[in-house]
Structure 1
Amino acid sequence: MNSPGPIIITDRIPALDQKLVELLETLSPADWKKQTIAPEWKVEDVILHLLDGNIRILSIQRDQYFGVPPGEIKGYHDLLNYLNTLNADWIKAAKRMSPKLVIELLKETNTEIAAYLPTIDPLAPAMFSVAWAGEEQSANWFHWAREYTEKWHHQQQIRLAVGKERELYTREWYHPHLETSMRALSYHYRNFPGNKGDLLSFHITGEAGGTWHLYHDGTKWKQVENIKTAENLITIEGEIAWRLFTKGIKPEQAGIKVQGNKGAGEHLLSMLAVMA
């Protein structure tokens, strides 16, 4: 059994960003006002959030400029509150911009991010850890894989709202999102009971899906690869998985199937791969 290796995905981000621009250029003014599966956000709010993400990447990570310092962060909830406040403040102010200007700014910041990405050492320590995976220090590859999942799932929220979601469900675009999100498994199951040698398998259906595994080494659950599917198998539909892991669907509506350990399946329903 092997532990999974790094997910090197920075080269995919510019193309995903370009897909967003191409999508936005097809939307009508009415489309910008449609409700997304995020209860508090319409399409325009998600678009503005993605623009803010680009601006923060360039300002903080490239230029080393923190415009709004977080103050004292004592834990996960302090960090979450800080991020939620930043998001809300930005969206309120950014609604002064026209859709045309927003798209122009996305194009410009996408270009600058594409130029910045090749300068990053994927194995060097990241500026920000991946908190939803329980890490206090992450490597750049994981941080940027997390950035990909942010860009993917927010774009998919827009696409779902306007009925153009099929394109991002292909393996090319969706599998990297799933592969990264499933790195939350070990941390999420850290307090779930197990004995040495126990195995749990998690299968996501569809073209972009796959099977992920946890092994209990007698002390903790560890994600492993290259093993046969366990008798304890939890299955989730591909088009539901991302929504479950980003609070885009109620757990009781996810319709997972459990073979074997029912408790392990029920525990998956509360796993998140976003700051939420």
Structure 2
Amino acid sequence: MTIFGPVLDVRPLFRQERQELLALLRSLSAADWARETVCPGWDVHDVVGHVLNDYLRRISGSRDGFAGATFANDETLPGYLARTNDEFVRAARQCSPELMIGLLAHLGPELDRLWGTFDLTAPAALDVSWAGPGPSPAWLDIARDYTEFWVHQQQIRDAVGRPGADQPELVHPVLDTFVRALPHALREVARPHGTAVRVVVPGPSGGTWHAVSDDGRWRMAGDEAEPVGGTAATITMRPDDLWRLATRGITVAEARRRADAQGDHALIDAATALLAIVA
């Protein structure tokens, strides 16, 4: 097992998440498509264009082996992504909502077929930088894309005041993916071997996860019982607060205010700075 914990296979969920998104988009008025979202400078139309870009980029890269846009001189990964995402979103403003809905509906099954060809335990096509440096497993790469699509759908729903896609079977894998960033979030805090940090999310969408100190680094625990070194810190957060913290829909300070945290303050501070986007 890697530091990221047990394999999480989200592939069966893409179709359901996409059906929820398409039903939402088909119900929107012209005014809804122009509503501002939490993404700076992007309205609903722009967020949909960004999701379409994700579909196209993944199929082009993972299916067709096409490298796509190249890095500019001295460009960082966050800078590269910000630039290329903005370029596509600007171009997509020429596309009608109907066209973008049709493209998502057409490309989605092709993307599903692509996921089915992956060996989940093989190295990822695209490493998950927010989970730490070094190689990521394919299952985490795929789960990262699932969270990307689900979170952008929620941002659209927030903008137009339409809650949904909040069934436990859709939400739990998002939270489960985001907590895999805990070893990276805790990396600067050294503790004795076996020391554990527990994250608890109550409710049907939630669960309990442990990150454990292991020979100078942190790893996600598997399904074993209580970690042998004892739990040094416990953080309890609502599902909505956890995913918004991980994507910076709320600030770290606000997430800490809403959480119930007990134990080692340094571990609590590190864990509640968890980030699951490239920034």
Q: TM-score, normalised by structure 1?
A: 0.91
In structure 2, do the counterparts of structure 1 residues 92 and 203 end up closer, same or farther at CA, with 3 Å as the change threshold? same
Matched, 1:65 2:63: no
Matched, 1:264 2:271: no
Matched, 1:210 2:207: yes
Matched, 1:101 2:99: yes
Q: Distance in 1 between matches of 2:203 and 2:36?
A: 26
- Gapped runs of 5+ residues in structure 2? none
Matched with 1:27 is: 28
Q: Distance in 1 between matches of 2:73 and 2:188?
A: 28
Work out the percentage of aligned pairs sharing the same amino acid. Answer: 34
**Which runs of at least 4 in structure 1 moved beyond 3 Å after TM superposition?**
none
1:64-113 per-position Cα deviation (integer Å, ceiling 9, x unaligned):
1123123577xxx7111111100111111110111111111111111321
Equivalent residues of 1:9, 1:145 under 8 A apart: yes
Matched with 1:78 is: 76
1:205-255 per-position Cα deviation (integer Å, ceiling 9, x unaligned):
232111111222352222213333835211111111111000111222221
Equivalent residues of 1:190, 1:220 under 8 A apart: yes
**DSSP-derived class of the 1:20 partner:** helix
Letter in 2 for 1:211: T
1:105-132 per-position Cα deviation (integer Å, ceiling 9, x unaligned):
1111113212322222222222211111
- Gapped runs of 5+ residues in structure 1? none
Say how many residue pairs are matched.
Answer: 272
Letter in 2 for 1:176: P
Equivalent residues of 1:246, 1:274 under 8 A apart: yes
Matched, 1:183 2:180: yes
In structure 2, do the counterparts of structure 1 residues 89 and 182 end up closer, same or farther at CA, with 3 Å as the change threshold? same
Matched with 1:38 is: 39
In structure 2, do the counterparts of structure 1 residues 66 and 228 end up closer, same or farther at CA, with 3 Å as the change threshold? same
Equivalent residues of 2:248, 2:275 under 8 A apart: yes
Equivalent residues of 2:205, 2:239 under 8 A apart: yes
Matched with 2:123 is: 125
Equivalent residues of 1:169, 1:239 under 8 A apart: no
Report the RMSD for the aligned CA atoms in angstroms: 2.1
Matched with 1:220 is: 217
Matched with 1:52 is: 53
In structure 2, do the counterparts of structure 1 residues 217 and 126 end up closer, same or farther at CA, with 3 Å as the change threshold? closer
Q: Distance in 2 between matches of 1:269 and 1:53?
A: 28
Equivalent residues of 1:134, 1:187 under 8 A apart: yes
In structure 2, do the counterparts of structure 1 residues 238 and 29 end up closer, same or farther at CA, with 3 Å as the change threshold? same
Cα deviation for residue 174 of structure 1 reads 0.5
In structure 2, do the counterparts of structure 1 residues 87 and 219 end up closer, same or farther at CA, with 3 Å as the change threshold? same
1:138-190 per-position Cα deviation (integer Å, ceiling 9, x unaligned):
2221111111111111111111222222x332210000111111111011101
